[in-house]
Amino acid sequence: MAKKRRKLNKDFEKIIYSSKKNVELVLAKIYDIDDEEIQKEYMSAFNRVVNLYDELKEDYERQGFSDNSEELLTSYKNAFNLFESEFEI
């Protein structure tokens, strides 16, 4: 049986790339925090965002652009915005 081709979306790929850069930037800022307790607190809170980003990226790489892609992107954006509103970085 032939394998179904992934549906690609250049705009969505740009969003994923931009999201990757945002996650890397925040992680770099967290790693720059000197106080270990505060760093752990920030890292613990930001792990949800990282996990959602990873899920978004992996889903796109496996299945391409789908209805699920928009839902995953919305979840990632909401988590990122919540982190930014609760933690000053």
| The total number of residues written for the chain in this structure | 89
For residue 6, pLDDT beyond 80: no
Burial class (CB in 10 A: 0-12, 13-18, 19+), 17: exposed
pLDDT tens profile 28-77: 999 999 999 999 999 999 999 999 999 999 999 999 998 899 999 999 99
pLDDT band at 81 (very low <50, low <70, confident <90, very high): very high
Whole-angstrom CA distances from 9 to 4, 41, 61, 68, 89 are 16, 36, 11, 13, 32
Question: Taking the model in full, what pTM does it have?
Answer: 0.88
